[in-house]
């Protein structure tokens, strides 16, 4: 098998020595080309080249969820063709690795490499659904290019938290779960719209859901992890269905404490719930629109401010070795 290994040298949980061991293990089983990313968007360019190549059968992403997202967007540059495009494999190297763990892979990169090699020997694979986010027609964001996401997107509060974390990382802070918690508290204290949300969710043939402060779009479950603890924002979300949405219309201090506790104690059977929580399951097409520009994130990557985003749930979009 001819494969391309895309390596993010800034991956937070792998050293250069560990990466060399993983590369050697993979190269013993396939004809492997190794490329180290050098700039933001490089993994996407490499995925696109692999999709257009007639020889590459597999792309392995060694890095965190951001690296995986870029590779996926490169592979699907011309749309999903799971039977004719190279397959995707993931070796987790980031701080959280939601996509890899949601697929059932070990969070340790060495163990995950072993699981990948076993899957290749046995021909084990699955075809997963993805989310697609694009600018909404007729709005100031309609020219924003469409982009795929593997496990989640968000408009509003959670994207603001991610933006704060990225600012701290640019200042040299390490990406830790404690850093996320601190920035969440600070965002809550500074959040201008926590009592009166500005987001409306619209979908064909249904009444809109309005005045949302927080809107999290899930393509799988769990939504994220705190260490080894899975957090379920939308417990029914699955790679085999459309998209799920958790919307909260109030984030007062008591409401924030209640929903934070529900998230921390969430299970595959029960996530956040209550009078101010909207849970929508298996959506194919919908739009999130805000009265004011809000931060937007996809797969944990802050993408700036948006007033409107149109989402599409695409089933059977990508072939994954797992």
In which residue ranges of the chain is pLDDT below 70? none
Strands (E), the chain: 2-7, 31-36, 58-63, 87-92, 125-135, 147-149, 152-156, 199-202, 209-212, 214-218, 224-226, 229-231, 243-248, 277-283, 285-298, 301-321
Backbone angles phi, psi at 218, to 5 degrees: -115, 135
Residues with Cβ within 8 Å of 204's Cβ and at least 6 positions away in sequence, in order, are 285
User: What's residue 28's pLDDT?
Assistant: 93
d(CA 149, CA 298): 6
> What pLDDT sits at residue 166?
83
pLDDT at 140: 93
Q: What is the pLDDT of residue 239?
A: 98
Contacting residues for 317 by C-beta, under 8 A, at least 6 apart:
76, 80, 82, 127, 128, 129, 130, 148
* Per-residue pLDDT tens digits for 257-278: 999 999 999 999 999 999 999 9
Whether the CB-CB separation of 246 and 278 falls below 8 Å is answered with: yes
Q: Return d(Cα 13, Cα 69) in angstroms, integer.
A: 18
């Amino acid at each position: 098998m001819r494969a391309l290994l895309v390596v993010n040298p800034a991956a937070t949980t792998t050293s250069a020595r560990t990466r060399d061991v993983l590369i050697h293990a993979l190269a013993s089983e396939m004809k492997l080309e190794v490329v180290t990313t050098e700039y933001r968007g490089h993994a996407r360019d490499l995925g696109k080249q692999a999709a257009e190549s007639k020889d590459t059968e597999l792309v392995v992403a060694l890095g965190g969820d951001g690296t995986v997202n870029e590779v996926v967007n490169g592979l699907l540059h011309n749309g999903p063709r799971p039977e004719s495009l190279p397959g995707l494999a993931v070796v987790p190297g980031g701080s959280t690795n939601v996509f890899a763990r949601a697929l059932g892979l070990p969070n340790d990169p060495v163990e995950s490499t072993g699981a990948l090699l076993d899957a290749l020997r046995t021909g084990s694979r699955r075809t997963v659904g993805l989310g697609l986010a694009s600018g909404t027609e007729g709005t100031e964001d309609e020219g924003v290019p469409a982009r795929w996401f593997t496990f989640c997107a968000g408009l509003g509060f959670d994207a603001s938290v991610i933006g704060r974390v990225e600012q701290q990382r640019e200042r040299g802070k390490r990406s830790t779960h404690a850093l996320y918690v601190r920035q969440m508290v600070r965002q809550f204290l500074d959040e201008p719209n926590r009592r009166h949300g500005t987001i409306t969710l619209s979908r064909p043939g249904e009444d809109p859901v309005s005045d949302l402060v927080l809107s999290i779009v899930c393509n799988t479950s769990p939504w994220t992890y705190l260490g080894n603890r899975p957090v379920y924002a939308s417990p029914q979300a699955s790679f085999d269905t459309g998209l799920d949405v958790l919307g909260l219309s109030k984030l007062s201090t008591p409401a924030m404490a209640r929903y934070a506790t529900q998230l921390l104690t969430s299970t595959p059977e029960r996530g956040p719930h209550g009078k101010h929580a909207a849970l929508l399951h298996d959506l194919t097409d919908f739009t999130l629109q805000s009265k004011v520009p809000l931060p937007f994130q996809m797969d944990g990557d802050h993408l700036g401010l948006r007033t409107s985003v149109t989402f599409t749930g695409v089933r059977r979009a990508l072939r994954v070795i797992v």
